Structures are given as C-alpha cells and as structure tokens.
C-alpha cells in the first residue's frame, strides 16, 4: 500500500489560519445576534412593565380601591 501524503507545515498553517478566520466570523455573527436578542428582551420587558401598570390601574379603578389595592 502506498503511504498517505502528509500535509506540509505551510499547508497546516494555512488550514489553521482559515479555520481561525471562519471561527472569528462566526463569533462576530453570534455577537450581533446576541445584541439583537438583548434589544428585543429589553423592549419586551418594557412592554410587560407598561402592561402591568395599565392592568394594575384598571383593576384599581374597577375594584374602586383607593388604598393601593389592599383589601379592607
């Protein structure tokens, strides 16, 4: 059987460099996606807080409690 040709040091370095460049690109893309997700989470949390305040105000008005929602 013929012996398998082993890659030269230059070929290995080139392959490692290409792999590193691809990993860096993927890391940058993931970072951008994380930034987008963070913005969406912050926006969602603000909307939920606004909803909770509106719901609390509506319940207070409906129940007629002027004491901050505490039962009498």
Residue 40, SS3?
helix
Rounded Cα distance between 55 and 49, Å, is: 10
**Count: domains in the chain:** 1
Quote the domain boundaries for residue 24: 12-61
pLDDT of 72 above 60: no
pLDDT of 66 above 70: no
pLDDT tens digits, 21-34: 999 999 999 999 99
Q: What is the pLDDT of residue 4?
A: 86
Q: Considering the domain boundaries, does residue 17 fall inside one? A: yes
Q: Considering the domain boundaries, does residue 68 fall inside one? A: no
Q: What is the pLDDT of residue 34?
A: 97
For the residues of 49-72, what is the DSSP string, one character each? HHHHHHHHHHHHHHHT--STT---
pLDDT tens digits, 30-54: 999 999 999 999 999 999 999 999 9
């Amino acid at each position: 059987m013929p012996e398998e040709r082993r890659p030269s040091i230059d070929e290995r370095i080139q392959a490692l460099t290409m792999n590193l460049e691809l990993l860096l690109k993927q890391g940058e893309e993931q970072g951008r996606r994380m930034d987008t997700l963070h913005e969406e989470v912050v926006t969602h949390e603000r909307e939920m807080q606004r909803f909770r305040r509106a719901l609390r105000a509506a319940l207070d008005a409906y129940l007629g409690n002027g004491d901050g929602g505490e039962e009498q």
